Amino acid sequence: MLLTQDRANDGHEDILPRVAHSLMQSPLVIGMPEQMADALHTPTGKIGWEDIYDLARDPQGWARYGKLWGLFKFGKTDPTTSTSGLHALISVNYAAQRTADPAEFVKVVESRVVHYGDSVATLLANLRAADDADNALAYVSAIAIEEKQVFDYNNPGSGLPPKQRLKAIHPKDGTLVADHPYAILSWSDPAHQQAAADFERYLTTTQKIQRRFQDAGFRNYLGQAGDVLQPPYFDRSVPRERWEPPDPLDLVDMLSQWSHVLRKPAHALFVVDVGRPMSDPIAGTNGTKLDVATRAASNALDDLAPNDAVGLWTFPTADGSPYRLAAPTSTIATSTSAIVRAVPPVTKSSDERALYGVIRASVAEIRGSYDRDRINAVVVLTGGGYALSDKASSDGLIDYLQRQPIDQRVRLYVVAYGPTSNDVLRRIAESSGGAFYDATTDQLNITEQLRNAMSNF
């Protein structure tokens, strides 16, 4: 729908068929840790978005059920980058229309978001790390997720399943279904369209193929569950009320309202490596790595909302100080966007200890002004150019990040833009509950990686 609307806005013909048939399906569910799902009592015995709203707005949080799990914490992905995030946004908006104050309903649910994510995989990786540390219930109370993704989380391909499995709850007030359609694009020639149609019939009518989809945790194209989706973690019945997406123009308005008004705002710090490796030219362009990176960062910051505050540090510095303050953390993101384009390069290189020092200082900076009503985060863009071999120092940083108080956790997102030890950077980022993004193999995809990193807030 968004593709159709975007092409229409740009004056292009629609390339999608009016009806795209489903290959397999997976409804959006509320994925809740088993203990929490069992503790959430409702008058009807069913759980829906209104119950999530009631728990989200209650200052007692889980104490209303006699549990010591703190406030309700919600996990959802960015609806501009993720299907489950988009379906969650639509579902919450639909449920909100049944209330006296729809905008307040959506805003309350969004206010309990732990952090957004570019994909469900990021949320589930963080949840699994918390589960391994016997801390899953402190990380998140519920995730808007596809049923198939709950199956994958509960049934990893290798290793042991999580100690705290998720229950896939069909919201009682309705849900959307990802139908994973098979679309034959109009720009293909008749011979290719016929071949594609033949392949579609094979995929949808061959029982063996459909059973493979079901064995992988999907439902078949009729919405029927396979044997692997068993209680108590799954409801094998078809969702009682299946919602359809809004009209394209309404969906565009819904996304705009979320982006600029309803999304939980950010309190973040962007830390940019401006050292000598960032002055290396990029093949196929007229610019250096720093030129391309700062343009990409500026564009990503422009995508944020007027009430997002993002500070800017650069490192290393010409005078030997740990970092240079280019914009305080109170700076509106769009203003930081203009500032980041003008950051000057430095002829000296950073080193491993300096990198760890600026990461620790940036996390401490955000935690020192922690705002419970915002998403508190740090994004570090490093140009690399040095080995990360000091295990004692990296382990010390990881320990510091892991020991952050649960109710004041600052998540770290690292984007690597040069040759370095990515495994070390990944462990550092994930130890905070954040994520790592690799732009080392294809330096021109830095725009995508920075957008992905910043989609977490």
Helix (H) or strand (E) holding 105: helix 102-111
92 Cβ neighbours under 8 A, 6+ residues apart: 49, 105, 106, 109
Q: Are 141 and 33 in contact (CB under 8 A)?
A: yes
Q: Return d(Cα 84, Cα 261) in angstroms, integer.
A: 20
Q: Return d(Cα 291, Cα 351) in angstroms, integer.
A: 21
Q: Return d(Cα 54, Cα 384) in angstroms, integer.
A: 47
Strands, DSSP E only, in 183-295?
219-220, 266-273
Nearest to 83 by CA among 34, 140, 148: 148
Nearest to 364 by CA among 429, 408, 307, 321: 408
Q: Return d(Cα 9, Cα 21) in angstroms, integer.
A: 25
Q: Return d(Cα 173, Cα 163) in angstroms, integer.
A: 29
What's the pLDDT score for residue 15? 62
Q: Are 258 and 304 in contact (CB under 8 A)?
A: no
Chain centre to alpha carbon of residue 240: 28
Coil, helix or strand at residue 27:
strand
193 Cβ neighbours under 8 A, 6+ residues apart: 184
Residue 167 phi, psi (nearest 5): -105, 135
List the helix and strand counts (H, then E) for the chain. 17, 14
What's the pLDDT score for residue 317? 94
8-state DSSP, 445: G
Q: Are strands 375-382 and 411-416 parallel, antiparallel or unpaired?
A: parallel
Q: How far is CA 429 from CA 230, 330, 378, 391, in A?
A: 35, 24, 10, 15
Q: Are 159 and 94 in contact (CB under 8 A)?
A: no
Q: What is the mean pLDDT of each run of 10 residues along the chain (457 residues)?
A: 62 66 92 95 85 95 93 93 92 94 93 89 90 91 96 92 96 91 81 89 89 96 94 91 89 90 94 90 82 91 91 94 96 95 90 93 97 95 84 95 90 85 90 89 78 88
Nearest to 373 by CA among 265, 291, 257: 265
What's the pLDDT score for residue 74? 95
Q: Are strands 177-178 and 181-182 parallel, antiparallel or unpaired?
A: unpaired
Coil, helix or strand at residue 437:
strand
Tokens linked to 386: 């040095």
Q: Return d(Cα 243, Cα 237) in angstroms, integer.
A: 16
Q: Is the dihedral of CA 404, 406, 410, 414 positive or negative?
A: positive
Q: Are 266 and 377 in contact (CB under 8 A)?
A: yes
Q: What is the pTM of this model?
A: 0.84
Q: Are 171 and 91 in contact (CB under 8 A)?
A: yes
Tokens linked to 287: 């610019």
What's the pLDDT score for residue 3? 60
Strands, DSSP E only, in 251-327?
266-273, 309-315, 324-327
What's the pLDDT score for residue 10? 67
Domains and CATH numbers, the chain: 22-178+232-258 (3.40.190.10), 265-454 (3.40.50.410)
312 beta partners: 270, 327
225 beta partners: 219
Helix (H) or strand (E) holding 84: helix 83-96
What's the pLDDT score for residue 419? 65
Q: Are 264 and 321 in contact (CB under 8 A)?
A: no
144 beta partners: 30
Tokens linked to 234: 């799954």
Alpha helices by DSSP H, 303-389:
333-340, 352-368
